[in-house]
Structure 1
Amino acid sequence: MRTELHPLPPAAPGTRHELVSLHYGTPGRGPKVVIQASLHADEVPGMLVAHHLRGRLAALEAQGRVSGEVVLVPAANPLGLNQWMLRAPQGRFDWTSGENFNRQFADLTQAVFDRVGTELGPDAAANVARVRAALRDAVAALPAVTPLEHLRRTLLGLAIDADTVLDLHCDGQAVLHLYTTHATWASHGELLARCLGAEVALLADRSGGDPFDEACSMVWCDLAAKLRPDQPLPPACLAATIELRGEHDVKHALASRDAEAILAYLHHRGAIRLDPAPPLPETCCEPTPLAGSMPMHAPHGGVLVFLREVGEHVRAGEPLAEVIDPLTGAASVLTSPVDGLFFACECKTFAVAGMAIGKVAGRQALRSGALLSV
């Protein structure tokens, strides 16, 4: 295992942060996989999964069983880890800019097209190699002044040429679910969902806001759309955001299970070799559109009481939660907007007006525009 330190230039004299990445296997030999944890620094389950992964990957490397390259970023947001206020972590938004740490990653499509678009030929594998080299160059050329810009450029530089990118997050309270693209679902996304035992798989090509996973995956589809028919370019990167249940699901048993599920996926992708080979689960959740994930919002402030548990299938119109004004006694009942799986909800017990308090995954695409939560 090789440890790399990536200093982030300080915003002010006397301050310093650095990103740490752990590297297993040999670059350029076999598939490249990047796994990063807790880009939203207050979402802790991914860091514990990374803790379990590092030990297992070190042992596999010592046994000569890392057949590709695996890059593990155990804490992807040193800036957010340092943001605490009144004993509470505040790792979702950068305090200086107000920007969500998992938004506004660079779209490199035009930059890569300008570099190699006219040079690609009829050999798909050769085109993938040329595009990966151009992507590395394009990331290196990105301007960066603030620590946040340097963090985004560094994370993208580690992952932009990977075959697989797994971005580990969590929700408030939730079942294990993932986000990925239509283009890679049949080839590798379904395999990932099977290995993880995901209960929901939400598919979108553009969710809005330029999150990290789409910066790594959608550049391939967008570039392919610009090329001639005699310049084949497959979607060469499976990137997925994996929501590791809820904020408080920080338990060794769960983290160990999730780490083993990720290793099983890496085995089936050819990045590592497990002995015995893990069986492939026979069933998988039905993928549903991210545009069919329907949020519910509190109509006013008050005590938040859930009437159903996450993981339950619900029907449109069924009561899911109450918001109770403690001063007037008025109570509003929030009902399911669609038939589907009640897969995530808020972990706080008091709501303010307009607050998103839960989500139901339906089968029909009913929303448009920005599809991710703020």
Structure 2
Amino acid sequence: MIHDVSFTVPGDSGAPLRVPAWRLDSGLPGPRAHLQAGVHGDEIAGMLVLHKLLPRLAEAAARGLLRGSVTLVPQANPLGIAQFRQGRILGRVHEPSSRNFNRGFPGSAAQERPLGNLAVWQKGLAELAAQADIVLDLHTDDEALPYLYLHQCFWPAGEDLATALGAEVAILWEGDSDGAFEEVVIAPWLAEGRFEGRLVSTVELRGQGDVSDALAERDADGLYDFLRARGLIADPVQLPEWRGRAVPIGQMETVFAPTSGVLVFERELGDLVQAGERFARVIATPGDPASERALVAPQAGLMLTRYRDRLVPQGAIVAKFTGSEPSSTWAGGALDP
């Protein structure tokens, strides 16, 4: 049976906004999972994935295959999806407070009476996931291969998720992640020191433009198989061995635009680029050959992400690469601001 566990938050105008959420509870012993998408309101792929996954889980429950419970929040951020400007959604940052929607979750969750609608929303999501053993937060990058963020305590146990979703890279973090949703979930687990059977991950489902039935069905299949492998669905599956790369976050290389201008990539996502090898250029003043600035890889690695637009502002993240040595620019926290 599907239970409506939606909650409301005050919108920026004061009018109540609904966060739609559904829970399937078997009443039987088993894992408790929480899956959500769209914490950044402009990252759409996961919304379609969970839209396709929900009826499959309902069918499994109807067939008596569900163990434990699963909560789905397919469109988690009504504040973000309301921020349309000139035909484009600006869902990464909460405009009234200028705060990234996926930062500050621990502080909001700790407030007995949250101050401001952003904190009310963050606390509501944190409470909805609080009893779960498995928590997946679905995001997308600009342009990217599929990849995962996981705390290092979940590795290599989290290889099953990477395998099921076809993720080519797992980025392993420690310390803190600048208050992302993942951090508020893991905090009590770290205090207990108990991780068996638990997992929390930020899942990056490629890029913002990668929204299609074919990709969503592939990812829904992957999530379904992962939940089977974890015992939430009593239909066992043997996942193949993962053949991707696990990279400590401090070894990830982030390349920034040295100037604004026309961005031209000369290598593709997934390409292995050698140290010092040119992978893109920025033309600051079209018409002036002397204005071209070549961008090179700081160390050998896989091109994991790329800037989506082809007119880039100075200081924007142009690309991220895996690395095998500590990055000279690593300063702690999350990879993105």
TM-score interval, smaller chain? over 0.9
* Number of the residue aligned with 1:5: 6
Paired letter, 2:133: D
* Number of the residue aligned with 1:244: 205
Residue 284 in structure 1 maps to residue 243 in structure 2:
yes
- Is the CA contact 1:32–1:70 (under 8 Å) kept in the aligned structure 2? yes
* Number of the residue aligned with 1:255: 216
- Is the CA contact 2:177–2:183 (under 8 Å) kept in the aligned structure 1? no
* Number of the residue aligned with 1:193: 162
User: How far has the Cα of 1:141 moved from its partner?
Assistant: 6.0
* Number of the residue aligned with 2:334: 371
- Which runs of no fewer than 5 residues in structure 1 stay unpaired? 109-138, 225-232
Aligned pair in 2 of structure 1 residues 326, 217: CA closer, same or farther (>3 Å)?
same
Q: Moved runs in structure 1, 4+ residues, more than 6 A?
A: none
Inter-partner Cα distance in structure 2 for 1:82 and 1:28: 38
User: How far has the Cα of 1:161 moved from its partner?
Assistant: 2.1
- For residues 131-210 of structure 1, the aligned pairs below 5 Å read 142-187=112-157, 189-210=158-179
- Equivalent pairs: percent with the same residue? 35
Inter-partner Cα distance in structure 1 for 2:43 and 2:174: 24
Q: Which moved more, 1:340-349 or 1:19-28?
A: 19-28
User: How far has the Cα of 1:371 moved from its partner?
Assistant: 3.2
CA deviations 1:162-192 (Å, max 9, x no partner) are: 11100000011110000001111123x1111
* Number of the residue aligned with 1:81: 81
SS in 2 for 1:153: helix
Aligned pair count reads 331
- Is the CA contact 1:107–1:219 (under 8 Å) kept in the aligned structure 2? no
* Number of the residue aligned with 1:216: 185
Aligned pair in 2 of structure 1 residues 207, 346: CA closer, same or farther (>3 Å)?
farther
CA deviations 1:132-156 (Å, max 9, x no partner) are: xxxxxxx586331322111100110
Aligned pair in 2 of structure 1 residues 207, 316: CA closer, same or farther (>3 Å)?
farther
- For residues 261-276 of structure 1, the aligned pairs below 5 Å read 261-274=222-235
* Number of the residue aligned with 2:312: 351
Aligned pair in 2 of structure 1 residues 99, 282: CA closer, same or farther (>3 Å)?
same
User: How far has the Cα of 1:372 moved from its partner?
Assistant: 2.2
- For residues 32-71 of structure 1, the aligned pairs below 5 Å read 32-71=32-71
Q: Which has the higher strand share?
A: 2
Paired letter, 2:185: C
* TM-score, reference length from structure 2: 0.93
- Which runs of no fewer than 5 residues in structure 2 stay unpaired? none
- Is the CA contact 2:264–2:281 (under 8 Å) kept in the aligned structure 1? yes
Counterpart of 1:318 (choices 277, 297, 300) is 277
User: How far has the Cα of 1:272 moved from its partner?
Assistant: 1.2
Paired letter, 1:234: R
Q: Which moved more, 1:354-363 or 1:4-13?
A: 4-13
* Number of the residue aligned with 2:263: 304
User: How far has the Cα of 1:313 moved from its partner?
Assistant: 1.2
- Is the CA contact 1:45–1:170 (under 8 Å) kept in the aligned structure 2? yes
Counterpart of 1:332 (choices 293, 307, 315) is 293
* TM-score, reference length from structure 1: 0.84
Residue 234 in structure 1 maps to residue 204 in structure 2:
no
Q: Let me know the Cα RMSD of the aligned residues.
A: 1.8
Inter-partner Cα distance in structure 2 for 1:27 and 1:357: 48
CA deviations 1:314-366 (Å, max 9, x no partner) are: 11111111100234341001011111110101110101111111100112233
Paired letter, 2:48: L
User: How far has the Cα of 1:12 moved from its partner?
Assistant: 4.1
SS in 2 for 1:165: strand
Q: Which moved more, 1:47-56 or 1:235-244?
A: 235-244
Aligned pair in 2 of structure 1 residues 316, 142: CA closer, same or farther (>3 Å)?
farther
Inter-partner Cα distance in structure 2 for 1:244 and 1:340: 20
- Is the CA contact 1:297–1:358 (under 8 Å) kept in the aligned structure 2? yes
User: How far has the Cα of 1:213 moved from its partner?
Assistant: 0.8
- Is the CA contact 1:11–1:146 (under 8 Å) kept in the aligned structure 2? no
Paired letter, 1:6: F
Aligned pair in 2 of structure 1 residues 336, 354: CA closer, same or farther (>3 Å)?
same
- Is the CA contact 1:294–1:360 (under 8 Å) kept in the aligned structure 2? yes
